[in-house]
Homo-oligomer: A and B are copies of this chain.
């Protein structure tokens, strides 16, 4: 049977989500904690392979086991064995065939910046400090994002993507005091894509790049045509969207 976990983590101590030899990753950390509960190692597959330092509030992962596991054990039991930087927020049975990554319809990321002179200790780990920016120019460029585009210019350096097209369903900057946060929903994201979009939109905000130039980048320009990749610590995987039918009815018995 298949279980769906919702997971939150502070990405700063991790070399990203994906298991890799010789590195402390979120996936490996959860698999180890889970093994303490169910007695053997089981793969935990995440919806988004977040990069080193990227956070999550709503990462979704699935695991397959032969025997039912109590939801309480998957939440409180696993949390007991996890470091404080990772928490399982929820565990539910999913219907057979559910796959956290392949079944995902869309994902929402947030990128948090602040124009405050100094960041408090509570926000420093999750917020990029930026100089005052032209928010209206950034919003004008951001309004061009919804739709299907060739995001080659915004893919992490390292060669051409075979399938560089992604569909953005919504993108907007939200302002609250000094904080300026991008919320972006898409059917998928190339590696480093949100952070390069943010780095390039901040160039628009600082006047170093025009909205027209930004528009051209959405037509499939090379990576070096876009701006820098914004730092990982401002980014958080907020939510993954699925068809509701993947969730099994409340537990039997």
The answer to whether A57 and B122 have CB atoms under 8 Å apart is yes
Contact A75 B122 (CB under 8 A): no
- Cβ of A121 to closest chain B Cβ, rounded Å: 4
**Closest residue of B by beta carbon distance from A123:** B8
- Measured as residues with beta carbon below 8 angstroms from the partner, the interface class of chain A is 20 to 34
146-205 of chain A: CB within 8 A of chain B: none
| Residues of chain A from 92 to 131 with CB closer than 8 A to chain B in the complex | 116-122, 124, 126
In the complex, the chain B residue whose C-beta lies closest to that of A89 is: B118
Complex formed: what's the CA distance from A119 to B90 in Å? 11
Count of chain copies: 2
Assembled-state Cα–Cα distance A10/B86 (Å): 20
- Identify the closest chain B residue to A58 (Cβ): B120
Contacts of A90 in B (CB 8 A): 117-118
Which B residues touch A122, using CB under 8 A?
A: 8, 10, 55, 57, 126
Interface check A9, CB cutoff 8 A: yes
Contacts of A76 in B (CB 8 A): 118
- For the complex, is A34 an interface residue (Cβ under 8 Å from B)? no
A85 within 8 Å of B by Cβ? yes
> Counting CB contacts under 8 A, is A239 at the interface?
no
Q: Is the CB of A86 within 8 A of B121?
A: yes
B79–A118 touching, CB < 8 Å: yes
Asked if B84 contacts A121 (CB within 8 A), the reply is: yes
**Chain A residues near B (Cβ < 8 Å):** 8-10, 55, 57, 75-76, 79, 84-90, 116-122, 124, 126
Can you offer 9 A-B residue contacts whose CB atoms are under 8 A? Answer: A8-B121, A9-B121, A10-B122, A84-B121, A88-B118, A89-B117, A89-B120, A90-B117, A90-B118
